[in-house]
Amino acid sequence: MAKRVSEPTTKVVGPLRRVDQRDELHTQAAMGGLGKQVQERWTAESVDPFRRIFYPEFRAQNSPVRSWRAVSDGPLNPKRTEVRNPQRMSEIIKGVAEFLGADLVGICQLNQAWVFTHRGLRIDHHKGVAGEPINIKHKYAISVAVQMEHENYRNSPSFIDNASTGKGYLEAAKVVVSLAAWIREIGWSAKSHFLIDEEVIHIPIAVEAGIGELARNGNLITRRYGPRIRLGTVTTDLPLALDGPIDVGVQAMCTDCNKCAINCPAQCISYGEKVIENNVEKWALDNKKCMQYWTANRDRFNDCSRCFTSCVWNLPDTWWAQIITWGIPRWHWWRKGFLWMDNWIRGVKPNLHQEWLYYKVPGDRKGWTLPDVIE
């Protein structure tokens, strides 16, 4: 069991400024805010068919996640189920979410600091709704995580880990859209938030809901799946009991380790101490350099997850991994020993050979994506 704590391990030291979604770097990259070259590459059609099915950028009807947008919110069943026991309701909601495909579920109050001020996804720009104010009055947030394949997360960046990332977004969308619909069908307001229809920031909500902790690499690390998860959120007024944030030793581990910083090809992860940004104490990350790197070689990758794959916490979901992560928050010598062992077994710069379907990484240039002819 993860240790519950009264405050998130990422400290907030003053009032938080809400974020305008139009300033998000994914949108900026697509709309030209990071320069013409990045924009051209970012918006070019990928050579990888998985990219084309997981992100609705060109032939949207070939991208299942696109259809979830139409049902991300919906009508209420007028016959409301009365909730006299929020604790029991929370147990049921977690059971429903797991049945629908969630691997981790946590509940917190919806902190308005994590609600964007204005819409600004790329799709919002295309639909002419970018800049519309966002106003979510829901009281609670349900944070959902789905795991991604460990085998595909052994090397990055490549189309192999990219495929699992895209599938993770799709799976997370499926769970939160269905969960929000289930809540509306018992008569309570609920809205799902996912890749192409989100009005909240998932990671700090997941921290407050006790799914995991914010790490040096800017990702959420969970005890069981490390950083290898994708998040979705449901906001709702359904009366629920809250989970607290957790301390599974991520801050302590990241203080002793900087493997993701060593491995980041764009060198945008801090090696040093935490800094204060928007009154949040966290490790600095040059997100702009990160986004620029994603477009560096469109023949080989669409995005990068090297800070996931190289992370010492990127362990398979096994009993021995559970023992390792159990010891991390407890003893400094254990963390040092684990880091030494990871460096010895996987190497300081892990780069495991992968073959999957028609991909080979590393391999000759013909091995990076689908060949023109299948022989």
Q: Site residues (CB under 6 A) for ligand SF4?
A: 215-217, 253-254, 257-260, 264-266, 268-269, 290, 293, 304-307, 311-313
CB-nearer residue toward ligand SF4: 177 or 253: 253
Beta bridge partners of 156: none
CB-nearer residue toward ligand SF4: 111 or 351: 351
Least CB distance to ligand SF4 at residue 326 (A):
15
CB-nearer residue toward ligand SF4: 30 or 311: 311
In three-state secondary structure terms, 367 is helix
Least CB distance to ligand SF4 at residue 268 (A):
5
Phi-psi region of 156 (alpha: psi -120 to 50; beta: other; left: phi over 0): beta
Least CB distance to ligand SF4 at residue 199 (A):
24
b vs e for 228-263, b when ≥16 Cβ sit within 10 Å of the residue's Cβ?
bbbbbbbbbebbbebbbbbbbbbbbbbeebbbbbeb
CB-nearer residue toward ligand SF4: 113 or 266: 266
> Rounded CA gap, 55 and 168, in Å?
12
CB-nearer residue toward ligand SF4: 107 or 254: 254
CB-nearer residue toward ligand SF4: 94 or 306: 306
Beta bridge partners of 226: 222
Least CB distance to ligand SF4 at residue 353 (A):
19
Least CB distance to ligand SF4 at residue 117 (A):
25
HSE-CB at 173 with a 13 A cutoff on CA atoms is 23
Measured CA distances, 354 to 149, 152, 165, 375 (Å) = 13, 8, 16, 21
Least CB distance to ligand SF4 at residue 223 (A):
12
Least CB distance to ligand SF4 at residue 53 (A):
22
> Rounded CA gap, 312 and 338, in Å?
8
CB-nearer residue toward ligand SF4: 34 or 264: 264
HSE-CB at 269 with a 13 A cutoff on CA atoms is 21
Q: What is the DSSP letter of 120?
A: -
Radius of gyration of the chain (CA): 20
Least CB distance to ligand SF4 at residue 309 (A):
9
CB-nearer residue toward ligand SF4: 158 or 235: 158
Residues in contact with 40: Cβ distance below 8 Å, sequence separation at least 6, in sequence order: none
- Look at residues 197, 41, 60, 64 and name the one whose alpha carbon lies nearest to residue 120: 197
